[in-house]
Amino acid sequence: MTVLVAAFRLYLGGAGTVAGLTGIALAAAVGMAAYYLKMG
């Protein structure tokens, strides 16, 4: 899902592309970390 969202953000382009991709990557990283901490 994250890859699809990032691809759409790249498709949209514009001035906020880098910030949007950074936010998407950060949200994915925090979600994965929380998942692994909960499972751990």
pTM above 0.95, yes or no: no
pLDDT score recorded for residue 8:
96
Token pair of 5, please?
């969202």
pLDDT tens for each residue of 1-37: 899 999 999 999 999 999 999 999 999 999 999 999 9
Report the 3 state secondary structure along the chain: CHHHHHHHHHHHCCCCHHHHHHHHHHHHHHHHHHHHHHHC
Measured CA to CA, the distance from residue 9 to residue 14 in angstroms comes to: 9
Position 1 scores a pLDDT of: 86
| 5 CB-contact burial (10 Å; exposed 0-12 / middle 13-18 / buried 19+) | middle
